[in-house]
Amino acid sequence: ACIMDKYGNCGSVVYLENVVHAVSVARKVMEDTPHVMLAGKGVEQFAYKMGFPKENLLTEASKKAWEAWKVKSEYKPIINIENHDTIGMLAMDKNGDISGACTTSGLAYKMAGRVGDSPIIGVGLYVDNAIGAAVATGLGEEVMKTVGSFLVVELMRQGKTPQEACEEAISRIVNKPNSNFKNFQVGYIAINKQGETGSYAIHQWFSMTKFQDGKNENLQADYFNKG
């Protein structure tokens, strides 16, 4: 998980086990340490020191699914079009200041030590309070290769709307000569300094919720692969 505020301060946690609220620990990294990212046993001990309880997060259903997977043990991405486990949030307050957070349980059945996009500033999340912010979900390796959330914000800096910036960032992925985009999903959401929002994905069923002017809207993002 990672978090970033209006001043550009940020915190990130990687490979955190036995703690439920990873993004809350990331905020503590941002506020209470001189560092940006803590990982593994170091961040776990830091979380306990900050008062977060140790909890067993393995459910019986997850254990059975893992045991079934071990029969084949295929390390390959699952397209995961309809069942996202990453949560990204971008917020603008009444003063027009922007902040954001991104948290995930990570890719299921991955190789030990694998880190995706969600906890990496500039990849899973990026905030520039003068311009806007973006957050990503989907196959982290593909977002990392294009420094996705930073790219979306920089495209807005160049004059694109949040929608146009999200679409261009997706095009950078799908238009690669060796792109295998039909087998994975990536999606972005973005907001600019004017409060305009955008979202776009490779495949259908990427959804977002927008709260504005006292009203919640559940929105389905437009998408690239219509054929």
| pLDDT, tens only, 171-194 | 999 999 989 999 999 999 999 999
Is residue 161 a contact partner of residue 52, using CB atoms and an 8 Å limit? no
**pLDDT of res. 105:** 76
Question: Is the pLDDT score of 106 beyond 70?
Answer: no
Q: CA–CA separation, 141 vs 143, rounded Å?
A: 6
CATH code for the structural domain at 87-223:
3.60.20.30
Look at residues 12, 86, 88 and name the one whose alpha carbon lies nearest to residue 46. Answer: 12
Average pLDDT of the segment spanning 210-223: 93
Question: Is the pLDDT score of 83 beyond 80?
Answer: no
Is residue 103 among the annotated active site residues? no
Q: Which of 59, 86, 146, 161 is catalytic?
A: 86
H helix intervals, 34-81: 40-49, 60-69
> Pick the residue with more confidence: 144 or 81?
144
**pLDDT of res. 114:** 84
User: What is the residue extent of each domain of the chain?
Assistant: 2-49, 87-223
pTM over 0.85: yes
Mean pLDDT (the chain) is 90
Average pLDDT of the segment spanning 73-90: 65
